[in-house]
Amino acid sequence: MMFKSLTSRSTCAACSLAVVLSLSSWLWPPDRTSSEVVAADKDNQELLDPAAWGKDHVGLEVPEYIEGGECLFCHRNDVGASWGTDPHNHTIHEANEDHPAMRALRSKASTSPIAKEVELILGDRRQSCFLKYTGEYGKLALLTVRADKRRGRRFRLSGDVANPGWLTEKFADRCAGCHATGVDGSDRTFITVGHDCYVCHGDAPLDHANEPELMPLSTARKDAPRVVVSICAQCHIRFGRSRSTKLPYANNFVAGDNLFRDFEADFDKADDPNISPADRHVMENVRDVVLHDNKELTCLSCHDVHGNSTAKHDKLPDGPSCVTCHDPGQSKKSHRMYEVHSVLCGY
Ligand code: HEC
Ligand code: HEC
Ligand code: HEC
Ligand code: HEC
Ligand code: HEC
Ligand code: HEC
């Protein structure tokens, strides 16, 4: 799908539109303007230009954000309890000797010696990758062997099991933007392994304690749906790329930005039956919000992120977004079973 911004303003209706535009830039949350309508889809529904609103941080320095430990000093009761086991916080974690993936790595003669070098593990719900610090600032090396989860808590090794080795650039080139925090697009270094609060709440000022609306995703602020899906889509669209860096992850995205000014992705993938419902329902929701201006449904209508739960989705009215996982006309008690794979992540 291609988009062109409207550039010519020949009629007087357009002159007054320009005035409305300059006024609307004072409003928060930013609302759509008719100049963003660029095309129509096959059903003659209006399509918006996903890049037409908001700002980005391409080419700027990564902000000096407040780190999670400091946030949790005040938020230990509301968020602290679930943060320890949050899959975002946990995406990269220390390589505990007793981790079943570590046991699998020690169990083979060819991989046992290199197991001593492993410092961190990425993932463990479906697959674990092994990592170590390279000694260079903000860089990790990725092992050419991985451990795939089998039944129970058993893991089986895959990859270059006979001859394991460390890749020193791959994590920076292909992974960092979605599995680490504060990644600098120019040298591909990160500030913190795993996800800090910053990836979703952005560069929030401490004054938010008195003015919660300064904080992205706070209830007081009522972020526009496209602001919300930009935050989640920066990592959950796993087949796009940054125009400026050509890397498969966003360039210096800060919560509040419009992801699609610099990040391009094929929205038609939402209809691709070869993609698992896990990735497809994400793209469907993003497309509905950023192209079709749907204001009814975002990731947060169904996902309670800190509660790590989708219980609230059970209470939604039936609609087109349900059929990715539930057969139309059938009871919601049954849902499609699916496996999740990703070419980008390599599992
Ligand atoms: C565009 C963002 C993005 C990039 C780049 C990316 N990942 Fe991921 N990765 C994700 C997301 C999002 C998930 C979780 C998807 C889900 O659970 O449905 C994930 C999941 C994983 C998992 C599964 C974790 C588990 O608990 O089972 C592994 C392993 C993984 N990624 C490894 C990698 C590696 C290695 C790279 C680089 C070669 C990489 N990823 C690059 C976004 C990304
Ligand atoms: C993966 C994205 C993500 C990360 C990472 C994240 N948050 Fe949140 N947070 C959210 C979302 C989304 C909401 C809004 C909840 C809603 O509206 O459903 C939220 C809400 C909150 C709230 C409001 C109270 C509540 O429980 O709803 C606080 C406080 C908060 N986050 C603090 C933090 C802190 C502190 C960290 C880091 C330790 C953090 N968050 C990391 C996404 C995130
Ligand atoms: C000095 C204490 C303090 C620190 C540090 C702090 N907060 Fe807050 N935060 C507050 C107070 C007080 C409120 C307003 C009362 C409330 O809603 O909990 C608040 C509100 C919020 C909200 C909105 C809650 C809602 O009702 O929707 C979010 C989200 C949030 N903080 C996230 C963070 C994040 C992320 C960090 C770290 C970057 C952080 N806070 C650091 C004290 C703090
Ligand atoms: C900085 C990247 C990043 C951002 C931003 C992000 N996620 Fe994630 N998310 C991930 C990765 C990576 C995983 C997989 C973690 C793992 O298993 O290693 C994940 C896992 C999840 C899961 C799967 C949990 C499970 O147990 O199956 C859900 C649901 C999710 N994210 C929703 C969201 C929502 C909603 C937002 C926006 C508020 C969001 N994420 C923002 C990267 C991100
Ligand atoms: C209509 C409700 C709905 C919407 C909208 C929605 N989700 Fe989901 N999502 C679900 C449900 C239900 C599950 C399945 C949970 C389960 O398997 O128990 C799920 C699963 C996931 C998973 C885990 C997939 C896996 O198995 O690895 C991720 C990641 C995720 N959603 C991210 C998102 C993001 C990001 C958005 C917004 C762009 C979003 N979702 C929008 C309902 C929704
Ligand atoms: C990403 C996949 C996904 C999407 C999209 C999705 N669901 Fe679900 N749904 C599930 C899964 C998995 C379960 C079982 C676990 C649970 O209850 O969360 C489920 C369970 C349910 C249940 C509970 C059934 C029961 O009684 O056990 C209801 C009701 C439901 N979904 C309604 C909906 C509606 C309405 C929509 C659309 C607005 C929707 N779902 C979209 C995956 C999905």
Q: What percent of the chain has pLDDT over 90?
A: 83
R_g (Cα) of the chain, nearest Å = 22
Q: Is 35 in the pocket of ligand 6 (CB under 6 A)?
A: no
Alpha carbons 140 and 131: distance in angstroms, whole number: 6
- The answer to whether residue 35 scores a pLDDT higher than 80 is no
CA distance readout (Å), 274 to 83, 211, 269: 34, 46, 9
258, 226 contact by CB (below 8 A): yes
Q: Measure 119 CA to ligand 1 centroid, in angstroms.
A: 18
Structure confidence at residue 1 (pLDDT) = 39
Overall average pLDDT of the 165-174 stretch: 98
pLDDT band at 269 (very low <50, low <70, confident <90, very high): very high
Give the 3-state secondary structure of residue 122: strand
Q: Measure 337 CA to ligand 6 centroid, in angstroms.
A: 12
Substitution candidate for ligand 4 out of 62, 85, 88 with most atoms within 8 A of CB: 88
Kindly report, residue by residue over 209-229, the tens digit of the pLDDT: 999 999 999 999 999 999 999
Overall average pLDDT of the 304-309 stretch: 96
Ligand 4 atom, smallest distance to 195 CA: 1
pLDDT band at 46 (very low <50, low <70, confident <90, very high): confident
Q: What percent of the chain has pLDDT over 70?
A: 88
Alpha carbons 14 and 274: distance in angstroms, whole number: 43
pLDDT band at 42 (very low <50, low <70, confident <90, very high): low
- The answer to whether residue 198 scores a pLDDT higher than 80 is yes
Kindly report, residue by residue over 64-121, the tens digit of the pLDDT: 999 999 999 999 999 999 999 999 999 999 999 999 999 999 999 999 999 999 999 9
Q: What's the distance, Cα to Cα, between the start and end of the chain in Å?
A: 28
pLDDT band at 34 (very low <50, low <70, confident <90, very high): low
Q: What is the pTM of this model?
A: 0.93
pLDDT band at 38 (very low <50, low <70, confident <90, very high): low
Question: Across all residues in the chain, what is the average pLDDT?
Answer: 89
* Helix boundaries (H) for 110-245: 112-115, 170, 176-179, 198-201, 225-236
35, 51 contact by CB (below 8 A): no
Which helix (H) or strand (E) element contains residue 8? none
Which residues, listed in sequence order, are joined to residue 309 by a DSSP beta bridge? 304
